[in-house]
Amino acid sequence: MEREIKILENIGEANDLIAGENRRLLEEHNVFAFNIMGSPGSGKTSLLEASLVELGKSYRVAVIEGDLATSYDAERIKRLGVKVLQINTGGMCHLEAASINRALAHFNLDEIDLVFVENVGNLVCPAFFDIGAHRNIVVISTPEGDDKPAKYPVIFRNADLLVINKMDLLPYLEVNLERIRRDASMINPRLEVIETSCRTGEGVDSWIKWIKRQLETRRNTGVTRGFL
Amino acid sequence: MEREIKILENIGEANDLIAGENRRLLEEHNVFAFNIMGSPGSGKTSLLEASLVELGKSYRVAVIEGDLATSYDAERIKRLGVKVLQINTGGMCHLEAASINRALAHFNLDEIDLVFVENVGNLVCPAFFDIGAHRNIVVISTPEGDDKPAKYPVIFRNADLLVINKMDLLPYLEVNLERIRRDASMINPRLEVIETSCRTGEGVDSWIKWIKRQLETRRNTGVTRGFL
């Protein structure tokens, strides 16, 4: 039993090393990376669809899509004329640094300013695996209910931004936004929060501004932060 | 690398052995067990809340709740006067057979006819771990979108029943139910499908009937089926 745990720890360490390499590689080419996490159907792809064209006016953008199966999400991004690569994990419940390392080799990084990585739809596992991104984002949607930060704390603890999506459904739900904000802030006091509806466009401008601010801040300070 | 994979396989095998033990233990005491899986916020606890009182008229019911953190779900079940045990997995993304084995020791199985196990909210990992239940159920909700069976096939392949929940939100969504049914049926032709809204009560009677039928069928035939 001890040996099993030891080896699993080594897998984690190996992942962290490759994540560090990814970050160095990205910085060498002046590329900034975002890791977008969240439950299946929380609206991760929709958030990208709603903002990529606008972000494309200021930055050269690429997207890496992570899914167990299909290339549906990559096709949605491709339709917008954005460079995209689909990773199919088979059964794996998260993206790991090594997959991102291989994916980055498919791009000419000198032609990219920012990369969005859309992780596998899962509110648990992706939180444990640094992929080498500079910022970590968690997307939840209002129909998921207001107990998610308390019940899935790890992913909120390791995130820089919480997006609360599907705000247009709020009138049809019994969801306490204040509880989401309060619980999330107790778990992670530095977590920023943006409310969006990809359907009505509400809050998408705040999302775009937040993304731009991260790139500007990075450029001003040169500071980046690891995952845990 | 080979060694790592070998040991992970052993973990899987060890889990299957304990799952088999769980099933034998349950059958020894004539207890029938359901494993309820689905994304965070799909409505797994709500489905139990909507049906436990009615099921309690015919059967002696117990519930095992699996969450990373908190005992919120157990408290919801307890309010109905139903026996319940909360498992907190810490960071683990699924319940495994050994946790269920330990949980079952907390109940007097001779006083129980059926056990619902609510797995960790996750559309990926629980699909890979047999916990020793007799039937596996996956709950998705309409706001999650219609691409979930295609994108997360494993959990649908290993399920006996698909519950499509939050039908009351359908008028406010662009979701193609036919696509969900078609994709799910391609992945698993023997998968039964029930549409519910725990809020309006729609379809809850079908859910209760399905549960009762499993217990009757089991009693008539004595046949049980493993996970994979």
Residue A1's pLDDT band (cuts 50, 70, 90)? very low
Q: Which CATH number applies to A2-219?
A: 3.40.50.300
What whole-number percentage of chain B has pLDDT above 90? 88
Is residue B67 predicted with pLDDT exceeding 70? Answer: yes
Tell me how close the Cα of A217 comes to any Cα of chain B, in angstroms.
32
Amino acid at B131: I
Residue A190's pLDDT band (cuts 50, 70, 90)? very high
Chain B residues touching A144 at Cβ < 8 A: 39-41
Q: For an interface test with B, give the residue of A65, A67, A75, A93 to mutate (most B CBs within 10 A).
A: A93
The fold of B2-221 is: Rossmann fold (3.40.50)
| Rg of chain A (C-alpha set) | 17
| Residue in B91, B124, B148 nearest the CB of A93 | B124
Contact between chains at B151 and A93 (C-beta distance less than 8 A):
no
The complex's ipTM? 0.90
Contact between chains at B143 and A41 (C-beta distance less than 8 A):
yes
Predicted local distance difference test score (pLDDT) of residue A8: 59
pLDDT single digits (tens) B110-132 = 999 999 999 999 999 999 999 99
Q: Which residue has the higher pLDDT, B95 or B222?
A: B95
Q: Residue A137 — φ and ψ, nearest 5°?
A: -125, 135
Q: List the B114-118 sheet strands across, edge first.
A: B83-88, B61-67, B114-118, B32-38, B135-141, B161-165, B192-195
pLDDT single digits (tens) A142-153 = 999 999 999 999
What whole-number percentage of chain A has pLDDT above 70? 91
Predicted local distance difference test score (pLDDT) of residue B163: 98
Is residue A218 predicted with pLDDT exceeding 90? Answer: no
Q: What pTM was estimated for this model as a whole?
A: 0.92
Contact between chains at A69 and B150 (C-beta distance less than 8 A):
yes
Residue B2's pLDDT band (cuts 50, 70, 90)? very low
Residue B224's pLDDT band (cuts 50, 70, 90)? very low
Mean pLDDT of chain B: 93
Q: Which residue has the higher pLDDT, B144 or B220?
A: B144
Q: Residue B175 — φ and ψ, nearest 5°?
A: -130, 130
Which CA distances in Å does A13 have to A16, A129, A220? Answer: 5, 10, 31
Is residue B15 predicted with pLDDT exceeding 90? Answer: yes
Contact between chains at A41 and B70 (C-beta distance less than 8 A):
no
Q: Which residue on chain A is closest to B4 by alpha carbon?
A: A7
Chain A residues touching B67 at Cβ < 8 A: 151
Is residue B45 predicted with pLDDT exceeding 70? Answer: yes
- Tallying the residues shown for chain A, one arrives at 228
What whole-number percentage of chain A has pLDDT above 90? 88
DSSP 8-state symbol, A195: E
The domain locations on chain A are 2-219
Predicted local distance difference test score (pLDDT) of residue B13: 87
Chain A residues touching B145 at Cβ < 8 A: 40-41
* Alpha carbons B153 and A53: distance in angstroms, whole number: 31
Residue B11's pLDDT band (cuts 50, 70, 90)? confident
Question: Is residue A121 within 8 Å of residue B152, measured between CB atoms?
Answer: yes
| Residue in B143, B151, B166 nearest the CB of A68 | B151
Average of pLDDT values for B7-27?
87
Question: Is residue B100 within 8 Å of residue B120, measured between CB atoms?
Answer: no
Average of pLDDT values for A20-37?
97
Predicted local distance difference test score (pLDDT) of residue B217: 86
Amino acid at B105: A
Residue B219's pLDDT band (cuts 50, 70, 90)? low
| Residue in A3, A10, A143 nearest the CB of B166 | A143
Average of pLDDT values for A112-127?
97
pLDDT single digits (tens) A124-171 = 999 999 999 999 999 999 999 999 999 999 999 999 999 999 999 999
Tell me how close the Cα of A147 comes to any Cα of chain B, in angstroms.
8
